[in-house]
């Protein structure tokens, strides 16, 4: 990494004390909440009895990772406005999960998307889906690990690798031992910390650079626009074609629908009405903090363009911390660092918890239903720790921007899981052959065209676009939908396969999770709807293969 200036706290003790105090708070909240939870179901769904406001905050905290503090601002520095346009639609995740399948899975009593896939498509499909979900969670955790190492690099001035191993292992150990306790209450508190420690310091930074709207940072920075346009006239340019903006929908909007740790939050609601209220709170809080991150990115670009601030490429992920170091007192920066670590912690514990549940519940307990509860729990703990360890090892050679691996994981979830859940909830004909074909072939295509495996086989050649999975998902997501629908439709009509299918129980499951007590053949059975989906998907996939002109 290029070092033009060494950005770090001059008083690391202060930073460590603040970080330590935050950890202590989480531990106490976890300890107190944990005394109430007694079963494994409590552990994963908080007893299914969480209020709408707490749940909405927890949803937002789980969703907002370290990327909010470090990653987004870095890519705004790099890509400018197109990246803001890309990020805006991420707010759709929980609302779309709730209306498309969240309430149905809540009614069913599923505590993970893989649980639904197992009941709907059988064991083989659910294990394939679980394996892909583990990869998704590890890539997601990787982004958090990079962020944590960068944060400690700035905090203590220690090299990246040392910070990665020492603090990575401490945090993974913390999550393995205590992080599973009171996860929802902690996530809600973390959301408040994230919001305060991001927005208040931003206001102070804006005041320091002379913005008059510092009292409401998320939206009131228009008086900086003329100076920005003067020194960097291209800042507001869209730069890319409509095709690039369209590819965001399959990659990230649909991708978010397949993220395991996110959907799990919908099931913690005490009832369906509460789940719907939680989505309202989620949208309000997330919109507030997202808008503040765009403002932070804007101020960062503004400071480099007009105030002579120099930030090297290697330091881009540190933009938020650097702005605080330059314009705010050190104790404020220490609070910001604690906020960044909270953000990473809530998401990382969500990811690692998902890995633990996937391996112990969705794979091992599915294959060997008779293993003792104690062994199963122990496997869960080992899986959580191993997942953390793998993400640490992957972070040794990190991608250029920490957000890239996270957004790539969205696409993989969108290819391998989202179609199975969406079509599985809304179309009775979807069956296990379609599901397996969609997940395996779609997932393989997505991985092959990513720049990480065969760098020469990519769709656009534009590094960040391929790396974030925008181009890959625009091809693989529609292929996955087509395979699921077409293969199911054909295999349902092959007499030789009828004994291997579970049509009647599939039909009963679908009617039940939509709230019906009777069965009607016309419901959730539209061949026209399936046909339209295939035609639209085919058009999108062909469009993805045509030249991107980037």
Q: Which residues of this protein are in contact with other proteins, per CB under 8 A?
A: 48, 81-82, 84-86, 88-89, 91-92, 95-96, 98-100, 103, 106-107, 219, 222-223, 225, 236, 238, 240-242, 244-246, 248-249, 253, 271-273, 276-277, 279-280, 282-284, 287-288, 290-291, 294, 426, 514-518, 520, 522-523
Nearest distance, CB of residue 294 and other proteins, angstroms: 6
Residue with tokens 């079963």: 39
Single out the residue of 448, 399, 459, 436 nearest to residue 139, CA to CA. 399
Taking the complex as a whole, the smallest distance from the CB of residue 234 to other proteins amounts, in Å, to 12
- Joined together, the tokens standing for residue 269 give 């609601």
Q: Which is nearer to other proteins, 277 or 492 (CB)?
A: 277
Minimum CB distance to other proteins smaller for 134 or for 228: 228
Q: How many angstroms separate the CA atoms of 412 and 393, rounded?
A: 20
Residues 6+ apart with CB under 8 A from 84: 76, 294, 297
Nearest to 361 by CA among 40, 75, 91, 23: 40
Residues in the chain: 550
d(CA 283, CA 298): 22
Rounded to a whole number of angstroms, the minimum distance from the CB of residue 280 to other proteins is 5
Bridge partners (DSSP) listed for residue 269: 50
- As a whole number of angstroms, the distance between CA 285 and CA 280 comes to 9
Residue 346 C-alpha from the chain's centroid: 12
Of 105 and 479, nearer to other proteins (C-beta) is 105
For the bound state, the minimum distance from the C-beta of residue 96 to other proteins, rounded and expressed in Å, comes to 6
> 132, 417 in Cβ contact below 8 A?
yes
Residues contacting residue 415 through CB under 8 Å, at least 6 positions apart = 258, 439, 442, 443, 445, 446, 473, 476, 477, 480
> CB of 266 within 8 A of CB of 111?
no
Task: Quickly tell me which residue has 């020492």 as its tokens.
Answer: 166
Alpha-carbon torsion, ordered 313, 75, 55, 385, to 10 deg: -40
CB of 293 to other proteins, least distance (A): 11
Nearer CB in complex with other proteins: 245/331: 245
Give the dihedral of Cα atoms 177, 178, 184, 190; nearest 10 deg. Answer: -120
Contacts for 344 with CB less than 8 Å, ≥ 6 apart:
65, 66, 144, 147, 148, 151, 171
Q: Which is nearer to other proteins, 102 or 179 (CB)?
A: 102
The CA-based dihedral angle spanning residues 134, 58, 152, 81, taken in that order and rounded to the nearest 10 degrees: 90
What 3-state class would DSSP assign to 518?
coil
| Residue whose CB is less far from other proteins, 277 or 306 | 277
Q: Helices (H), strands (E): how many in the chain?
A: 28, 0
Neighbours of 161 (CB within 10 A): 12
**Nearest residue (CB) to other proteins, 106 versus 120:** 106
Closest CA to 169 of 397, 388, 338, 394: 388
C-beta of 148 vs 425, nearer to other proteins: 425
- For the bound state, the minimum distance from the C-beta of residue 453 to other proteins, rounded and expressed in Å, comes to 29
Identify which of residues 313 and 514 has a Cβ nearer to other proteins in the complex: 514
- C-beta closer to other proteins: residue 330 or 511: 511
- In angstroms, what is the minimal distance from the CB of 422 to other proteins? 10
Q: Mapping DSSP to helix (H, G, I), strand (E, B) and coil, where does residue 36 land?
A: coil
Least distance from other proteins to the Cβ atom of residue 38, Å: 18
Q: Are 130 and 358 in contact (CB under 8 A)?
A: yes
- Residue number, 52 or 354, with CB nearest to other proteins: 52
Q: Which is nearer to other proteins, 281 or 433 (CB)?
A: 281
Task: Say how many Å lie between the first and final Cα of the chain, rounded.
Answer: 27
In the bound state with other proteins, the residue whose beta carbon lies nearer, of 376 and 525, is 525
| Closest by Cα among 417, 549, 407 to 477 | 417
Residue 89 Cβ vs other proteins, minimum distance, rounded to whole Å = 4
């Amino acid at each position: 990494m290029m070092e033009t200036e060494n950005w770090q706290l001059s008083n690391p003790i202060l930073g460590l004390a603040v970080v330590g105090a935050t950890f202590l708070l989480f531990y106490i909240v976890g300890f107190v909440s944990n005394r109430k939870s007694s079963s494994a179901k409590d552990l994963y769904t908080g007893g299914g009895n969480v209020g709408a406001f707490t749940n909405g905050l927890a949803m937002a905290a789980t969703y907002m990772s370290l990327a909010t503090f470090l990653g987004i601002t870095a890519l705004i520095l790099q890509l400018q406005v197109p990246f803001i346009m890309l990020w805006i639609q991420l707010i759709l995740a929980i609302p779309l999960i709730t209306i498309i399948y969240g309430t149905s899975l809540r009614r069913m009593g599923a505590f993970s998307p893989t649980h639904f896939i197992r009941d709907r498509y059988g064991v083989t499909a659910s294990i394939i889906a679980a394996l892909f979900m583990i990869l998704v969670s590890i890539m997601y955790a990787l982004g958090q690990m990079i962020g944590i190492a960068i944060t400690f690099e700035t905090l203590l001035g220690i090299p990246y690798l040392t910070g990665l191993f020492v603090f990575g292992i401490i945090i993974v150990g913390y999550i393995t031992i205590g992080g599973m306790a009171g996860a929802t209450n902690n996530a809600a508190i973390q959301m408040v910390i994230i919001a305060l420690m991001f927005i208040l310091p931003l206001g102070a930074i804006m005041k320091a650079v002379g913005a008059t709207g510092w009292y409401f940072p998320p939206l009131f920075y228009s008086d900086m626009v003329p100076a920005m346009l003067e020194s960097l006239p291209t800042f507001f340019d869209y730069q890319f074609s409509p095709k690039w903006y369209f590819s965001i929908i399959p990659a990230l909007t649909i991708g978010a629908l397949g993220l395991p740790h996110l959907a799990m939050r919908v099931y913690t609601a005490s009832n369906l009405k509460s789940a719907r209220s939680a989505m309202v709170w989620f949208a309000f809080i997330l919109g507030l903090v997202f808008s503040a991150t765009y403002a932070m990115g804007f101020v960062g670009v503004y400071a480099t363009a007009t105030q002579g601030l120099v930030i090297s490429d290697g330091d881009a992920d540190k933009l938020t911390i650097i702005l605080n170091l330059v314009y705010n007192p050190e104790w404020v920066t220490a609070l910001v660092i604690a906020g960044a670590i909270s953000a990473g912690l809530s998401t990382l514990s969500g990811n690692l918890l998902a890995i633990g549940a996937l391996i112990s519940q969705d794979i091992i307990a599915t294959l060997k239903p008779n293993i003792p509860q104690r062994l199963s729990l122990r496997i869960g703990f080992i899986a959580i720790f191993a997942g953390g360890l793998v993400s640490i090892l992957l972070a040794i050679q990190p991608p250029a921007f920490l957000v890239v691996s996270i957004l790539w994981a969205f696409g993989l979830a969108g290819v391998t899981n989202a179609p199975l859940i969406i079509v599985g909830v809304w179309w009775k004909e979807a069956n296990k052959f379609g599901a397996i074909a969609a997940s395996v072939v779609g997932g393989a295509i997505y991985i092959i065209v990513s720049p990480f495996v065969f760098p020469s086989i990519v769709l656009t050649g534009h590094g960040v676009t391929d790396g974030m999975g925008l181009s890959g998902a625009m091809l693989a997501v529609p292929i996955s939908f087509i395979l699921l629908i077409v293969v199911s439709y054909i295999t349902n009509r092959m007499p030789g396969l009828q004994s291997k299918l579970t049509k009647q129980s599939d039909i009963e499951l679908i009617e039940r999770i939509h709230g019906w007590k009777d069965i009607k053949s016309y419901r959730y059975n539209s061949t026209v709807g399936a046909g339209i989906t295939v035609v639209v998907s085919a058009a999108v996939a062909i469009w993805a293969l045509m030249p991107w002109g980037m």
